[in-house]
Amino acid sequence: MAKIVFIGAGSLVFTKNLVRDLLTFPAFKDCTISLVDIDPGRLAFAKEAVDKIIDAGHYTSAKVETSTDRARALQGASGVVCTILVGGLDIIRMDIEIPKKYGVDINVGDTRGPAGIFRFLRTLPVMLDICRDIERICPDAIFLNYSNPMAMLCRAMQSETKLQVTGLCHSVQGTAAMLAGWIGAPVEEVTYTCAGINHQAFYLEYKWNGKDAYPLIREAVENRSEVYNEEQVRNEMFLHLDYYVTESSGHNSEYNAWFRKRPDLIEKYCTHGTGWNPGEYGLVVKYGDRMKQNWQKQMEEWRDSPIELERGEEYASYIFNATIGDGTLFEFNGNVRNFGLIDNVPEGACVEVPVLASSKGLSPIHVGKLPDHLAVLVNTSARCEELAVEGALTGDRRKIFHAVAFDPLTSAVLSLDEIKKMVDEMFEANRGWLPQFEGYN
């Protein structure tokens, strides 16, 4: 019988959706779902949610348990899912508001750039502790990470441990479905090859029934205003770079120097008509405020809502089914270190490429070269992430400064001296969260 441990189970949307998906596979009909969280209140509601799914689906053989003791929960685990967030709303606010004070207008801040790097520095010690527990207690477990910043966390975990660990993001399959909708293609008739780094992966091929669908996508973007306005930043990138990027406009507006370095560019590309308004800086902070105030109300509403039992498109359940379930092969895009996978991205950096899941484990697939101009963009971010990982693992503040200094948006806005002052201020704001840096315990 499989045992799947959910660390950070209080991240309710992830937990209930992943549990729902998992229980649709016959191989997991008698599995144990072990929920772990440091917040007893959220943990109790997560159990209530999972119990409701089990009851609605008549999964009578499945078991659910809860614990605030991670080591205890990991006993006998065959799979682990991580959805933790380290640091509360107040420190996340500083990730966004300190750069904003210096002129770096960040919208989401969970992946890269100054906000993403400091989120990584806070999160890494906890993630490595989790990895060490898994190595000690259930070393053969498949470890699937959903926590951001995805690339830096996975790169560090994969270099510092021997676990089978990969990072998952729904942007690849989500964007593929969005593009299919734009051209009127049933998504099951679409195939693609997608590679790059997390949130900056590109569809190197996108085909409908075996034929190149990029001309149809370009036609839709150029000639239909509702399509263009749905993803203004990404559509501008596609029109000029010729390949479609996986992550949404809000995120991608932060990852390059083209859209957020001047107020007029934010007004033109990031404010009007785009899905979730990437022009509004600090969107995540405002959303977090709302969640903090209303989460119990939302839980009450969820109690009265019907349960949907149909399997979703998140990768985790399919991966577990392939590796520790019935062995059905499953190909997905995962975050792994670049050892012979993408030829023109730094060796050893974390890349997002096709991975084959099977009873033998996780096997990344060689992609080859990215188009040269895409490699320039991806390499800049990947090398900044490499600097940040090295700085985090060695406690070297200078490497963290250099990682931020070469971030495309930051370097487009600030001088080196201004960046140094901003980084110093962010270190000071994170003083209590950075045990790996001397003097910041």
CATH number of the domain encompassing residue 23: 3.40.50.720
Tell me the percentage of the chain whose pLDDT exceeds 90.
83
The pair of structure tokens assigned to 109 is 């801040």
Q: Give the number of other Cβ atoms within 10 Å of residue 183's Cβ.
A: 18
- The pLDDT score that the predictor gives to residue 436 is 82
User: Quick check: is 170 catalytic?
Assistant: yes
Provide the mean pLDDT of the chain. 93
Which residue in the block uniquely carries the two structure tokens 């060490």?
Answer: 132
Which structural domain range is residue 98 located in?
3-168
Give the pLDDT score at 278: 46
Catalytic residue among 58, 170, 199, 402: 170
Which DSSP letter does residue 22 get?
A: H
Asked if residue 432 is part of any domain, the answer here is: no
With a CB cutoff of 8 Å and minimum separation 6, the contacts of 152 are: 112, 116, 117, 120, 124, 350, 385, 388, 389, 392
Q: How far apart are the first and last CA of the chain?
A: 42
Residue 265: CB atoms within 10 Å: 17
> In this predicted model, what pLDDT tens digit does every residue of 231-283 receive, in sequence order?
999 999 999 999 999 999 989 999 999 999 999 999 999 887 555 444 444 55
Q: Are 156 and 136 in contact (CB under 8 A)?
A: no
What number is the average pLDDT over the span 363-392?
98
Token digits for 426? Answer: 């962010």
More confident residue, 315 or 41: 315
Q: CA-based Rg of the chain, rounded to a whole angstrom? A: 21
One-letter identity of residue 373: H
Phi and psi torsions of 207, nearest 5°: -125, 145
For residue 296, being part of any structural domain is answered with no
Which tens digits make up the pLDDT trace of 282-319?
555 555 555 555 566 667 777 778 888 999 999 999 99
Q: Residue 435: pLDDT above 90?
A: no
Total count of domains within the chain: 1
> For 40-44, 316-320, 403-407, which range has the lowest pLDDT when averaged over its residues?
40-44
Instruction: Judge whether 270 lies within some domain.
Output: no
The one-character DSSP state at 87 is: S
In the DSSP assignment, the letter for residue 415 is -
Task: Let me know if 409 is exposed, middle or buried by CB neighbors in 10 A (0-12, 13-18, 19+).
Answer: buried
pLDDT (mean) for 379-391? 98
Q: How confident is the model at residue 9 (pLDDT cuts 50, 70, 90)?
A: confident
Comparing CA positions, the residue from 108, 144, 114 lying closest to residue 8 is: 144
Q: Assess whether pLDDT exceeds 50 at residue 441.
A: no
pLDDT at 292: 58
Average pLDDT over residues 22-47: 95
Report if residue 117 sits inside a domain.
Answer: yes
pLDDT at residue 302 in the model? 72
Rounded CA separation 265/259 (Å)? 5
